[in-house]
A = this chain, B = another copy of it.
Amino acid sequence: MSDVTELDARPTYAFLGPAGTFTEAALLQVPGAANADFLPCSSVNAALTKVREGKATAAMVPIENSVEGGVSATLDAIANGTKLQIVREALVPITFVLTVRPGITELSQIRSISTHSHAWAQCRYWAEMNTPNAEFIPASSTAAAAMGLLDADVTYDAAISSPLVAQQNSLNVLQTGVEDNTGAVTRFVLVSLPGTVPPVTGSDKTTLVIPLPEDHPGALMDILDQFASRGVNLTRIESRPTGEGLGNYFFSVDAEGHIHESRMSDALMGLHRITPDIRFLGSYPAAEQLSPNYGRHNSEEAYREARAWVDGLRGITGGL
């Protein structure tokens, strides 16, 4: 892979569409996005398939929501199939607007609201309080629901969607901030084919897929110990079924640190020894500022000195 975000003359970015979703908002954060082609896809899998087939430079997909948790479709899709690599992450605040069809000017007039069932779940309490008589009309996406208001023969009164789609289409916004949880944020990742790992910044994350090696008390502890014993903090851990029956898991984790840092590469070697089917999904700059606190004995200097000491004892004059 060439460096996705800088080298392509005109990159093509697949994303979980349609236009106007939060995923497009995440994509707009990528440097140079203005000069890229955007390729909306109907599902996370479809977007990643574009990358796997070489039809897109990279794909932006949601991976974690501060209220809903991990995005299963993404976690499963990047854990299986052709190997992929996360090269960047982006945070997008999740806030919803209520848009209405022409003729609606007050909440009390609303008898039906269309949106995606996930968005509905996040705004349901607001709706019960503010539009108690409104029926929920499921839509295939929030954007589709909002765009439907532009149809002359729309059959519902209102839609719940991202601010972006309302703005892009000059929709009639009756109310902003209709989400039940304010402050929610979704984390998105930009995924490409495997290639060069972005350089160390000191505030990096590494994403891994780790199959649980055997089902015994302590199997997960053996895995976590590989991180903890090197002072590596985990910022996310998700268990996902392997699909081979209840009780069979893999873990999707984000760890503070970069594969080019010794404490992380040492942890990766330890993990590979106990669960060789581990999958590396990339080291990349964290969207938020991290201040890893791993102790002097896990520093590059401590690793370098330890390696020099053992090499000296082993009589390896050239060193590693």
Which residues of A are at the interface with B, using a C-beta cutoff of 8 A? Answer: 64-70, 72-73, 91, 117, 121, 136, 138-140, 181, 183-185, 187, 196-197, 215-218, 220-221, 224-225, 227-229, 231-241, 243-247, 249, 259-260, 265, 268-270, 272-274, 276, 280, 288, 293-294, 297-298, 302-303, 305-307, 309-310, 313-315, 320
CB distance from A115 to the nearest CB of B (A): 11
- Contact among B225, B269, B302 for A310, CB-based, below 8 A: B269
CB distance from A75 to the nearest CB of B (A): 9
Q: Which residues of B contact A310 (CB under 8 A)?
A: 259, 265, 268-269, 272
CA distance A163 to B97 in the complex (A): 39
Q: Is the CB of A243 within 8 A of B139?
A: no
Residue among A138, A235, A273 with most chain B CB within 10 A: A273
CB distance from A314 to the nearest CB of B (A): 6
Kindly report which residue of chain B lies nearest to residue A307, judged by CB atoms.
B269
Q: Which residues of B contact A260 (CB under 8 A)?
A: 314
Q: Which residues of B contact A221 (CB under 8 A)?
A: 221, 224-225, 228
Kindly report which residue of chain B lies nearest to residue A265, judged by CB atoms.
B310
CB distance from A284 to the nearest CB of B (A): 13
Q: Which residues of B contact A293 (CB under 8 A)?
A: 216
